[in-house]
Structure 1
Amino acid sequence: MDELIPFAEVEYRYVLQPFDIVDIDFAASDEELTKAFEFQGSRGMRGGMGMGGGGGDIFYFTGYSIDQQGFVEIPKLGKIEIAGLTEEEAKEKVQEAMDAFFKESIFVKLRLGGIRFTTLGEFGSSGTKVIMKNRATIFDALAMSGESNILAKKNKLFIIRHYDGGTKIHQINLNDRKLLASPYFFIQPNDILYLEPMRIRQIGSADNLSSSLGLILSISSSVLVLFALLSGGL
């Protein structure tokens, strides 16, 4: 049980996509140079709201949104196309634009504004959520979404994942310890998690397994009583 399970070696690197939100910050020896690139109070908002894993979608208000054509618009620098690039590649491209505009050295920091994912199906809480981390596991996502319903199929969690050029659907088994070494142990930005319900969900409108079984037993008892009465009458 105490065996060390190494993380899977995943070559896949997330590339920025239209409608992603990135946090771009600037630093220089002269703070007056960077104020032109800061939305009013954005730096103060980030510090005041905190960066905890369970926090709200801070960067929706303070970050830069990539438009449908793949560009971000930065004050003074104009529109820069960064969709299709990794975080590091996008950072270098913004840095090049900054170096061409200013003679002074201004350091650029660029990163995704948290990991956004969506949960559907038999979760305690479904909807779009944000984890304020650079890396998050499937169990981080499950914890934020609430304990899965008793009617959920733990062996049928589907991850709908976006890749450069398309989308794939992967099925994982939460009961399989091999998950810890799989490429799906860590979630990616914009993942959609769907937890399939058991067939018992289709019986009546019961909210859980016990009430469904109670409904079945009640109907069975009524049928037996009716059968006994009819048999006695004959």
Structure 2
Amino acid sequence: MFAFVSCVNTKKATYFSDQKNGSFAAPTIPKLVIQPNDLLSISVSSLNAEASAVFNQANNSGVNNNNTSTTTTTATGFLVDGAGNIQYPFLGQVPVSGLTKEELKDKLTKALVDKKLLVDPILTVRFLNFKVTVLGEVAHPTVVTVPSERISLLEAIGLAGDLTIYAQRDNVLVIRDENGQKVTQRLNLNSTELFSSPYFYLKSNDVVYVEPNKSKVASTGRSQVWLPILFSALSLGVIVVDRLTR
């Protein structure tokens, strides 16, 4: 009876079971928008290396190591405060929340040129805190850091060691921050409709939760009920055998 109850439908355990030979439109890659508490790396270069170095100090700070006399370099970047601003050298408080990396680059470049702080500066903006969290029925629940600033749901699951056999592949939950609110979306990995979902590519701070299926819940519940009974029976058997052999 337990064997029949714990059977898993193979179609539900297969990715994209409805996919046939053919092609489909590529998923849309979401725009990365700067939000409060983001950590940004903003590097500047120009013909005047000395003048450019002043603007790069916030990207690298020396941190003393208590165990040695050496100084190591740790990436710190520019932290976006709760109001959506950063403190930038010579420009002071700069509003950045809601901008893309390209928009921020153009904004800072124009400000540096208009104030005649640099001539023909080249700026590069990157996110230092782009990460996603994968929890639930995966081999290795983990927080994935994404230096490339681009990761799909399938890549995140792969980096977490893939789904276990007990995972609900047709009901994967993605939790996302949108405009100060938590937005949830459930996705079906058995269907190719996943590739047209705006949640196929993950955003920074997304949380992926994979629920266990009924077989896992049922088997866990049965083991909690039967294991104590089994151990009690074995203990009683050992006591009876010990008494009979004396």
Structure-2-length-normalised TM-score: 0.69
Q: Is the 8 A contact 1:7 1:182 kept in 2?
A: no
Sort the Cα spacing of 1:125 and 1:64 in 2 relative to 1 into closer, same or farther, 3 A: farther
Deviation of residue 155 (structure 1)? 1.1
**CA shift digits 1:179-200 (9 cap, x unpaired):** 1232222111121111111234
Q: Verify the 8 A CA contact 1:71 1:82 in the aligned structure 2.
A: yes
Displacement of 1:9 in angstroms is: 4.5
- Could you tell me how far apart the structure 1 residues matched to 2:119 and 2:172 are? 51
Matched, 1:27 2:42: no
1:59-98 to structure 2, matched below 5 A, reads 61-98=75-112
Shift of 1:204: 6.8
For residue 175 of structure 1, the aligned residue among 176, 190, 197 is 190
CA shift for structure 1 position 124:
2.2
Q: 1:114 to 1:18 in 2, by over 3 A?
A: closer
CA gap of 1:205–1:61, structure 2 versus 1, over 3 A, is farther
> Are 2:53 and 1:38 equivalent residues in the alignment?
no
**Which of 185, 196, 211 is 1:196 aligned to?**
211
Deviations 1:158-198 (A, max 9, x none): 11122235332110011212212322221111211111112
- 1:6-53 Cα offsets, whole Å, 9 max, x none, are 11357x53321111122211110121121112238839xxxxxxxxxx
**Alignment partners' CA distance in 1, 2:106 and 2:187:** 36
Distance of 1:74 and 1:41 partners within structure 2:
11
Give the partner amino acid of 2:210: L
What is the deviation of 1:157? 0.7
Give structure 1 stretches of 5+ with no counterpart.
44-59, 223-234
Q: Which residue of 1 aligns with 2:68?
A: none
Q: Which runs of 5+ in 2 are unaligned?
A: 1-19, 62-73, 234-246
Calculate the aligned-residue CA RMSD, in Å.
3.2
Residues 96-175 of structure 1 aligned to structure 2 (within 5 Å): 96-101=110-115, 102-113=117-128, 115-175=130-190
Tell me the number of residue pairs that the alignment of Structure 1 and Structure 2 aligns. Answer: 199
Question: Which residue in 2 is equivalent to 1:4?
Answer: 23
- 4+ residue segments displaced more than 4 Å: 203-206
Equivalent-residue separation in structure 2 for 1:165 and 1:109 (angstroms): 27
Sequence identity, in percent? 25
- Which residue number in structure 2 is paired with residue 54 of structure 1? none
8 A contact 1:42–1:62 mirrored in 2? yes
Q: Which piece of structure 1 moves more, 81-90 or 70-79?
A: 70-79
